[in-house]
């Protein structure tokens, strides 16, 4: 109990300063700009609407999204409240890590087992600088909650595995709970599927150590059904239909081979940051990483490093199974997000659980060395200093994240070639300028960072659109060079096309809301520029035409043109957005028959049922109000 209380107290002492930071980046689409989680009351309808509202993941990660809705219902839009809940989940995870490592320490020699190493490992894991972005970036509650269930699964499995049980009843009950927790974890984040290979790894380790009395046959059947068979089916399917994971590479500026080359270097960096966390190299933004596009000596040497570690883990399996498990635990946690799937290349939160492997190796290695020195008095001092080596930089980083404006300033200083870091800095200048006006010094600073961003990324538009909006809001003359860049990039862009549509919609909405005062030709030329781009798909063009039709109708009240424009869009491609826009127009004009016809012809695609359900709700409300 004392160890657990110290872990909780230390987390509060070193990391609590991080809860006062602002919302950032993906927090906005998932929370602040997601009306489905901005609950005025707790109701079944709000719960249903929230479940499928997140833009993240395969099944929209409903449990974290529901937690966002409940947090808003209780505390409103208070970033500190959202971050405090993340903070509490991190504390719970640290206590589960402590329980897990207490089990794992049974794999150590007798002398090391008596040194309460689980306490030091859990403490360093919880206070590691790499954990800051997972804890204080609100949307990473998805990672925190998924990790919570993954840690529960590992603890439950080991309790069932290691408990004397003559008829294997408790072992079977434990396997049942593993499946229940697996489903709950999957509702948080898809990487929960790694829990199965992780408990397989733990199962093999304890059976090797001769500490398991449960039936090996039951374990073989369980892992055959939930690990071996699915793994074989995925491999076979990937060879037969590789497009399931290759299709999304079209949205990236790297291909499969380049991703794998890059991940060799990146995972090595994760090892380095885990053992020697230089906070000047850490950050939320790592888009300044240079993609590895061909083999080199550096790549060969790094590949050798990984292969050597894996060979060492196999060689030491019987002699020092704890070290082997720690190495393999790290790599297993990276099987999903650091291999074939075309995700972003680098994110620190991918190490949230994986970090336990390197930390365990460091703590046990230091303790082994002290044991050989046979200096009992020196041991607690050295371990305390080791904790401080991780906790102090983590505390500094938590303070930076908890100080509005400071975290993004540090991101730019640490990653000067990061487009995203400079864009985040421009966002901060944007909000300050809207609230307080724009000084000559601020305008010069904006131009410096904007020019740097546009130099670094030839397809980047977000910063340019934001500064064009700022000049309009403040009623300052637009720079002609900015407008020409906007038209040029919209007409020639061949990457991040979906983002370009959202930027255009942002300009239209700003004009409709009355904040921006663009000349009509600015928006008309932007629309024409996008329309002339040959790289856009038919679905994209249809949604764009529908967006323009809605804008024209709202801005100029040209009701006669709206239906014609929307029907033109529908002729290009039948998308849920076009159908929803048409349905909204017909409802406003009282054409209920046409709304019902649209509902019967509704296109089938991911997320389309949400729009269809929305239209059904409008139709129901319209009918009730009419009565």
355 has pLDDT over 70? yes
Q: Report yes or no on 44 lying in a domain.
A: no
Residue 326 has a pLDDT of 94
Name the DSSP class of 23.
Answer: P
Contact between 592 and 584 (Cβ < 8 Å): no
In the chain, % of residues over pLDDT 70:
91
Give domain status of residue 583, yes or no.
Answer: yes
pLDDT of residue 625: 64
SS3 254: coil
Q: Which of 375, 402, 429 is the last residue of a domain?
A: 402
The answer on 541 and 396 residing in a single domain is: no
CA proximity to 25, closest of 375, 421, 569, 360: 421
**Given this model, what pLDDT does residue 484 score?**
87
Least confident of 64-68, 436-440, 485-489: 436-440
| Half-sphere exposure in the Cβ direction for 131 (13 Å, CA) | 33
Asked whether residue 177 carries a pLDDT value surpassing 90, the answer given is: yes
Of the pLDDT bands very low, low, confident and very high (cuts 50, 70, 90), residue 94 is: very high
CA 183 to chain centre: 19
Q: Who wins on pLDDT, 533 or 623?
A: 533
pLDDT in tens, 248-257: 787 788 888 9
Phi, psi of 338 (to 5 degrees): -120, 25
Q: Is the pLDDT of residue 18 over 80?
A: yes
Distance CA 618, CA 595 (A): 10
Q: What would the mean pLDDT of 283-312 be, rounded to a whole number?
A: 92
497: pLDDT confidence band, cut at 50, 70 and 90? low
391: in domain: yes
Measured between alpha carbons, how far is 515 from 470 in angstroms, rounded to an integer?
A: 9
Token digits for 222?
């369980």
pLDDT digits (tens, 9 = 90+) for 140-157: 999 999 999 999 999 999
The residue among 574 and 275 whose pLDDT is bigger is 275
pLDDT above 80 for 589: no
Instruction: Share the mean pLDDT of the chain.
Output: 85
pLDDT at 229: 93
486 CB-near residues (< 8 Å, 6+ apart): 461, 464, 465, 468, 526, 529
pLDDT at position 602 is 66
CA of residue 461 relative to chain centroid, distance: 22
Contact 143, 352 (CB under 8 A): yes
Question: What letter would DSSP give residue 290?
Answer: P
Q: Which region among 4-8, 295-299, 364-368, 403-407 has the lowest average model confidence (pLDDT)? A: 403-407
Per-residue pLDDT, averaged over 75-99, amounts to 94
Tell me how far CA of residue 275 lies from CA of 153, 259, 268, 530, in angstroms. 26, 24, 11, 48
pLDDT tens digits for range 197-214: 999 999 998 888 667 766
pLDDT of residue 603: 63
Half-sphere exposure of 335 (CA within 13 A, CB side): 14
Mean pLDDT in residue range 94-109:
91
Domain assignment of residue 220, yes or no:
yes
Last residue of a domain, one of 382, 402, 422: 402
With 0-12 / 13-18 / 19 or more C-beta atoms within 10 angstroms meaning exposed / middle / buried, residue 284 is buried
For residues 242 and 99, membership in a common domain is answered with yes
pLDDT for residue 417 is more than 60: yes
Residue 370 lies in a domain: yes
Cα torsion for 5, 6, 8, 14, to the nearest 10°? 160
H or E segment to which residue 580 belongs: helix 576-588
Of 343, 369, 402, the position where a domain reaches its end is 402
Q: Contact, 535 vs 494, CB < 8 A? A: yes
Q: How many domains does the chain have?
A: 2
Domain-embedded: residue 385: yes
Q: Is residue 40 part of a domain?
A: no
Domain with 607, as residue range(s), is: 537-626
**How far is it, in rounded angstroms, from Cα 120 to Cα 115?**
9
The rounded percent of the chain whose pLDDT value lies above 90 is 34
Helices (H), 316-414: 321-333, 356-373, 378-402, 406-414
Residue 464: per-residue pLDDT: 81
Dihedral, CA atoms, 125, 129, 130, 133, nearest 10 degrees? Answer: 120
Taking residues 166-187, what's their average pLDDT?
88
pLDDT of 604 above 70: no
| Structure-block tokens of residue 278 | 């230089």
Please report whether residue 352 resides in a domain: yes
Query: Using DSSP, how many helices (H) and how many strands (E) does the chain show?
Result: 31, 0
């Amino acid at each position: 109990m004392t160890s657990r209380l110290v872990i909780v107290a230390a987390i509060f002492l070193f990391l609590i300063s991080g809860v006062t930071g602002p919302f950032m980046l993906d927090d906005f689409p998932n929370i602040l700009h997601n009306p489905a989680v901005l609950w005025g009351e707790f109701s079944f309808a709000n719960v249903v609407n929230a479940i499928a509202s997140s833009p993240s993941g395969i099944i929209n990660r409903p449990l974290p999204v529901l937690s966002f809705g409940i947090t808003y219902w209780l505390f409103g839009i208070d970033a500190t409240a959202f971050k405090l809940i993340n903070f509490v989940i991190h504390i719970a995870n640290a206590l589960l890590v402590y329980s897990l490592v207490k089990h794992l320490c049974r794999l150590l020699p007798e002398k090391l087992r008596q040194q309460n190493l689980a306490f030091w490992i859990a403490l360093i894991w919880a206070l590691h600088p790499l954990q800051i972005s997972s804890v204080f970036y609100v949307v990473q509650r998805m990672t925190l909650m998924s990790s919570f269930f993954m840690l529960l699964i590992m603890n439950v499995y080991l309790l069932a595995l290691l408990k004397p049980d003559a008829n294997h009843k408790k072992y079977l009950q434990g396997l049942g709970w593993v499946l229940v927790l697996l489903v709950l974890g999957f509702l948080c984040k898809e990487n929960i599927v790694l829990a199965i290979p992780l408990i397989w790894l733990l199962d093999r380790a304890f059976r090797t150590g001769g500490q398991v009395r449960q039936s090996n046959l039951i374990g073989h059947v369980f892992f055959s059904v939930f690990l071996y068979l699915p793994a074989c089916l995925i491999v076979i399917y990937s060879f037969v239909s590789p497009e399931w994971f290759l299709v999304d590479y079209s949205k990236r500026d790297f291909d499969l081979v380049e991703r794998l080359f890059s991940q060799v270097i990146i995972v090595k960096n994760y090892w380095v940051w885990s053992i020697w966390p230089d906070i000047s190299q850490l950050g939320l933004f790592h888009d300044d990483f240079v993609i590895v596009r061909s083999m080199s000596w550096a790549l060969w040497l790094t590949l050798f490093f990984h292969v050597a570690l894996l060979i060492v883990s196999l060689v030491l399996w019987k002699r020092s199974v704890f070290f082997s498990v720690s190495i393999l635990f790290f790599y297993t946690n990276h099987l999903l997000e650091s291999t074939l799937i075309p995700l972003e290349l680098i994110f620190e939160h991918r190490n949230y659980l994986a970090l336990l492997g390197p930390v365990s190796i460091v703590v046990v290695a230091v303790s082994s060395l002290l044991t050989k020195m046979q200096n009992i008095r020196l041991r607690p001092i050295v371990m305390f200093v080791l904790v401080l080596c991780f906790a102090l930089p983590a505390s500094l980083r938590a303070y930076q994240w908890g100080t509005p404006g400071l975290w993004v300033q540090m991101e730019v200083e640490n990653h000067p070639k990061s487009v995203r870091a400079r864009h985040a800095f421009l966002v901060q200048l944007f909000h300050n300028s809207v609230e307080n006006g724009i000084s000559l010094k601020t305008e010069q600073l904006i131009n410096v960072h904007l020019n740097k961003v546009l130099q670094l990324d030839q397809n980047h538009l977000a910063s340019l659109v934001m500064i064009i909006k700022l000049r309009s809001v403040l009623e300052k003359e637009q720079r002609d060079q900015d407008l020409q860049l906007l038209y040029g990039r919209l007409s020639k862009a061949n990457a991040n096309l979906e983002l370009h549509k959202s930027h255009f919609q942002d300009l239209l909405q700003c004009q409709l809301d009355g904040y921006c005062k663009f000349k009509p030709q600015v928006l008309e030329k932007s629309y024409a520029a996008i329309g002339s781009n040959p790289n856009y798909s038919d679905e994209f063009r249809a949604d764009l035409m529908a967006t323009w039709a809605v804008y024209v109708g709202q801005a100029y009240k040209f009701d006669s043109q709206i239906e014609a424009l929307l029907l033109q869009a529908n002729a290009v491609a039948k998308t849920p957005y076009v159908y929803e826009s048409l349905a909204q127009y017909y409802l406003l004009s009282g054409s209920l028959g046409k709304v019902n016809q649209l509902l019967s012809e509704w296109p089938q695609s991911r997320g389309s049922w949400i729009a269809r359900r929305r239209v059904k709700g409008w139709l129901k409300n319209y009918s009730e109000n009419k009565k």
